[in-house]
Homo-oligomer: A and B are copies of this chain.
């Protein structure tokens, strides 16, 4: 079962996007694999203190993207293969990296300075709660 233990809501970003992001990051991290069972909409919404429809929106998009499969009355499961996995991974990494690079560049930092900053702050990231 996919875990949402370390999921923290940030504000300013649509919640359904944060759910999508969390799942996609889990896929890239290898924590989420093919055929994994997803928590039901009701359970997850209760767990995160959200409305079921918000979770439903995230799940619907995942299904539109072919990453999960769900049928009325049945649980929902991850549907991953090499191609999808690669696609998710590439998109996610590219977006995160380019966003950061762009911001650093815009602030006038050099490549080396940016990389140093990233390494310096690495250990300050809030660890698992």
User: Chain A residues in contact with chain B, CB under 8 A?
Assistant: 6, 12, 14, 17, 22, 25-26, 28-31, 51, 64, 73, 89, 92-94, 96-108, 111-112, 114-122, 124-126
The reply to whether A118 and B101 form a contact with Cβ atoms under 8 Å apart is: yes
Give complex CA distance A85, B126 in Å: 26
The reply to whether A97 and B73 form a contact with Cβ atoms under 8 Å apart is: no
Q: Which residues of B contact A12 (CB under 8 A)?
A: 14, 17
Give complex CA distance A124, B31 in Å: 29
Q: Which residues of B contact A29 (CB under 8 A)?
A: 106-108
- 10 A-B residue pairs with Cβ-Cβ distance under 8 Å, sorted by A, are A25-B103, A25-B106, A25-B107, A28-B107, A93-B107, A96-B100, A100-B100, A101-B125, A104-B118, A114-B122
